[in-house]
Amino acid sequence: MNSVINEPLRFVTVNNERFRLFISEEDIKKRIKELAGELNAKYAGKTPIFIGVLNGSFIFFSDLIREIDVDCEIDFFKLSSYGDAKISSGNVKLLKDLNCQVTDRDIIIVEDIIDSGLSMDFIKRLVTKQNPLSFSVVTLLYKSDCVKIDFKVDYIGFQIPNHFVIGYGLDYAQKARNLRAIYVLDK
């Protein structure tokens, strides 16, 4: 029966730690539609480049982009900051640069989560050096307790407390990215 197949897992265990359901698949879908609506209105008649930040944003990116109905291009950065830990190393490394030219283009960075803000600060410096026409950020999750960036994040899916979350692209030591919903460490 469909209702059984769609029943969300309430708890999952990853690397021997227990996580509980935090944001359901349904709530994520609904919020993505709202964010896409705002982006479609804002970029009507333009051709922005949506830039995903790998690995974490890959599922959010693919769900968001399919709700976008303006002409657009896509590209990806790959960064690493967390290693296998639950706390950011604070050391951002660029593992893959862009293939596109951002000069004079409307740029929209798509992130899974902004925690310390160090990754986004790094990306902003990198992109704005090349003089884009505009620079915006959309993030599915935003940990407002941690953020140390001095610029506004334009589009936020959900503001969350400073808890470690997994699923829907977000990993714990590379696991759990395939979970359909977002789960929080169950303390």
Active site residues: 115
Residue 165 makes contact with ligand IMP by CB under 6 A:
yes
Residue 51 makes contact with ligand IMP by CB under 6 A:
no
Residue among 112, 142, 168, 179 that touches Mg ion (CB under 5 A) = 112
To which H or E segment does residue 11 belong? Answer: strand 11-14
**From 7-15, 48-56, 64-72, 146-154, span contacting Mg ion (CB under 5 A):** 48-56
Residue 132 and residue 105 in contact, taking contact as beta carbons nearer than 8 Å:
yes
Query: How far is residue 53's CA from residue 115's CA, in Å, rounded to a whole number?
Result: 14
Residue 88 makes contact with ligand IMP by CB under 6 A:
yes
DSSP state of 178: T
Nearer to ligand IMP, 44 or 62 (CB): 62
Number of residues in contact with ligand IMP, rule: CB under 6 A?
20
To which H or E segment does residue 37 belong? Answer: helix 25-42
In whole angstroms, how far apart are CA 44 and each of 4, 9, 154, 185?
A: 40, 38, 17, 40
**Smallest separation, CB 41 to Mg ion (Å):** 26
Site for ligand IMP, rule CB under 6 A: 53, 56, 81-82, 88, 111-120, 164-166, 170-171
